[in-house]
Amino acid sequence: MNPWPIVRAFLVRHRWAALAFVFLVAAGVSLAVALISQERALRNGSARAADRFDLIVAAPGSQTDVLLTAVFLRPGTTKLLPPEVTVRLLNDKRAAFVAPIGFGDSHRGVPIIGTTSQLVTHLSNELQEGRVFARRAEAVVGAASPVKVGETFRPTHGIPRDGNSEEDTDPHEHGAMITVVGRMKPTGSPWDSAIMMPVEHVWQLHSLPDGHEEGNEAVGPPFDPTRTPGVPAAVVRPTTIAAAYQLRNAYTTNESMAFFPAEALTRLYSVMGDLRQLMSLLAIVTQALVLMAIVMGVLLLFRFLVPQLITLRALGAPRLFIAAIAWGFTATLVLAGVVLGLVAGYGLSYGVSQWLAADTGVELTPTLASSEYLIAVSILATGWILALLPAYVVQRRSLAMSLAES
Amino acid sequence: MSPHDAEVGLSVFQLEVSFCDATGDRFNALSGITAQFRPGQITAIVGPSGSGKTTLLHCIAGILVPSSGEIRHGGVVVSSLGESARDAWRRHNCGMVFQDFRLIDELTVLENVTTPALFGHYRVPSILRERARTLIRDFGLLERSVPTSRLSRGERQRVAIARALLMDPAIILADEPTASLDRANAASVAETLEGLAGQGKAVVCVTHDDLLVSRAHEVISLKAGRMGPPAVDPFVGLRAGDLA
Ligand SMILES: Nc1ncnc2c1ncn2[C@@H]1O[C@H](COP(=O)(O)OP(=O)(O)O)[C@@H](O)[C@H]1O
Ligand SMILES: [Mg+2]
């Protein structure tokens, strides 16, 4: 007893209907899978990108805005921390280090970030190539930067928005020649394409006091309290967890705010809760559509199948044989649709990730996890159960009646 | 004559089949049918349209269970078997040719003819495949790899007959097997059926075709579900008598 030759013939002869059914199922499965996979990739990717930024201190305002500019390097305007707070913060002993973050220049369309070598070392663990900057005219590039170690350049004033127009800035090169002395390891964040140089140089370029005594060309802490300007944000590496909470409380004042990026991300996701709800709603809707497609498909395939199954009964075929054909036909199609849907869903998620990563610099690695497989398996199971229907109906009806009718 | 005569191959006794008509009233599609279908004999079932010929054939095949009466084959009371057992009995004993052929139109000629071989085998045994090819050739068909839906009615009818013969059944039940055939093909089918009877098979044909009736050993004439007096039609009676 082997139903496959007949199932295969049915599949071949009804290939267009069969393909339409497979694609319908695949489309629904892939959408649901891509939505869920992408949502997780976004959450994991952004959490990973923000992971090494322990505590961020900035002027009071929107944590999300600060997070987006300081960690995700999205163009935006942030208020500066008052110089007194900046100085107090930069010299705070409860932190292993405090790294100021300063913006304002770019090179080849990527932002130049003024900071300290401690942050560079911390973000990168060890450098991939070369060393951290030790002088003002030196810089370190991110892992994905096209700028090579040993290259020299002059910073361009202003940060291009979206890489092209520089509406409110006047692009011109300024300051001294800068030499790239090192390259960071990949961090999975937009910092991978940025250029890091001593914050003192950025201050200098913008005619601000440069954090050290007049004529002192030192880089990094300690900073001179009388000659330190305000900064948009600083990354604080606390020594202990207790210190982390102390620091957060100490800098949550009228003049400054302090927050853990992970916390801010969680809040961001909950602010985006509407979007997530929309996404899960979409996932549910697509699943419902898939199930409807399966039901409709099964009913349509009925029309193809039932007369033939009745013929087989009339010829005396064993019940199991008939059931296997009836079930095998629909079950094969559902299986094909679900497998294709999983593959296409992963592909879709991968494509969206690539596109988002190119746009944001946040490395996104889409995966298929249990929830996606669960969707696939539940659709498969439902389809396989519904596929029993034709077999059941054919066996139940009186054969003489069926023969007279079809 | 006893219906339980062990010597009798296939017999029906006091068959009665009632159906509900469109208005829901019961009517007897068959009543009081008693007949024997002996091995080696062709039995023709004749009668006007709607007289119950197909119903009788379906009863004999175990497709339809009579309201009362009995169908026996050897020692088996087919009419009191359960559905699966009747299916199995039909599978093993009957070659069916349906009035509307009931080919599986997705399959090719060869696949249709070999379908009954799949019921009991994982793949069609080569001996049955060869037998199918011979049958196809004998019926003047070409072994084309197109679905049978593309064939003419006459070709489809011959495929249906070839399929009924594949498993070499002891009983052949054919519903108007020559209705769609031209004279030459009808004659060849009649000859084939005669040959099968010659091999000792019980052949039962519903037919309007004189060609077939003239070769029948027995003629059952139905009228409104009842058997008419034998040889009502002197012409048919004469022929049937001649051959007996
Ligand atoms: N399954 C059924 N339900 C109700 N009536 C039926 C059924 N099958 C056949 N009949 C009726 O029984 C009568 C005999 O039908 P049938 O045996 O097909 O006639 P024939 O083959 O002699 O033309 C007809 O009146 C037909 O309408
Ligand atoms: Mg009929």
Output the pLDDT for position A215. Answer: 76
Residues in A 342-381 with any Cβ partner in B closer than 8 A: none
Q: Whose Cα sits closest to atom 6 in ligand 1? A: B19
Q: Which residue has the higher pLDDT, A136 or A272?
A: A136
Query: HSE of A373 in the Cβ direction (CA atoms, 13 Å)?
Result: 4
CA–centroid distance for B57 within its chain: 6
Cβ distance of A315 and B64 shorter than 8 Å: no
Average pLDDT over residues A290-316: 84
Cβ distance of B122 and A2 shorter than 8 Å: yes
Cβ distance of A403 and B107 shorter than 8 Å: no
| B52 — pLDDT class (breaks 50, 70, 90) | very high
Average pLDDT over residues A335-349: 94
Residues in B 80-109 with any Cβ partner in A closer than 8 A: 83-84, 87-92, 94, 96, 98, 102-107
Q: Which residues of A touch B83 (CB under 8 A)?
A: 399
Query: HSE of A388 in the Cβ direction (CA atoms, 13 Å)?
Result: 6
CA distance A16 to chain B (A): 14
pTM metric for this prediction: 0.78
Over residues A153-189, the pLDDT tens digits come to: 888 877 665 544 444 455 677 767 889 999 999 888 8
B104 closest CB neighbour out of A3, A311, A316: A311
Average pLDDT in chain B: 89
Over residues A107-150, the pLDDT tens digits come to: 888 888 889 988 888 888 888 888 888 888 898 999 888 888 98
> A313, A321 in Cβ contact below 8 A?
no
| B11 — pLDDT class (breaks 50, 70, 90) | very high
Residue A268 has pLDDT above 80, yes or no: no
Cβ distance of A13 and B84 shorter than 8 Å: no
Output the pLDDT for position B172. Answer: 97
* Single-letter residue type at A314: A
**DSSP letter assigned to residue A76:** -
Spatial distance between the Cα atoms of A328 and A8, rounded to a whole number of angstroms? 9
Q: Which residue has the higher pLDDT, B55 or A219?
A: B55
Cβ distance of A9 and B122 shorter than 8 Å: no
The single residue listed with the structure tokens 């954090």 is A211
Over residues A68-107, the pLDDT tens digits come to: 888 888 877 778 888 888 888 888 888 888 898 888 788 8
Over residues B125-151, the pLDDT tens digits come to: 999 999 999 999 999 898 888 889 889
Output the pLDDT for position B237. Answer: 43
Residue B95 has pLDDT above 70, yes or no: yes
Q: Which atom of ligand 1 is nearest the CA belonging to A400? A: 1
**Number of other CB atoms surrounding residue B195 within 10 Å:** 11
Please check whether residue A311 touches B, CB under 8 A: yes
Percent of the residues in chain A that have a pLDDT greater than 70, as a whole number = 95
Residues in A 318-337 with any Cβ partner in B closer than 8 A: 318-319, 321
Q: Whose Cα sits closest to atom 24 in ligand 1? A: B50
Pocket of ligand 1 (CB under 6 A): A 400-401, 404; B 19, 29, 47, 49-55
Spatial distance between the Cα atoms of B140 and A174, rounded to a whole number of angstroms? 95
Q: Give me the long-range contacts of B139-147 (CB less than 8 A, separation at least 24).
A: B139/B188, B139/B189, B139/B192, B140/B185, B140/B188, B141/B109, B142/B109, B143/B108, B143/B109, B143/B110, B144/B108, B144/B109, B145/B108, B145/B110, B146/B108, B147/A13, B147/B105, B147/B106, B147/B107, B147/B108
Cβ distance of A400 and B106 shorter than 8 Å: no
DSSP bridge partners of A152: A179
Residue A151 has pLDDT above 60, yes or no: yes
Average pLDDT over residues A296-315: 85
Residues in B 119-138 with any Cβ partner in A closer than 8 A: 119-123
The single residue listed with the structure tokens 């913008």 is A206
CA distance A404 to chain B (A): 10
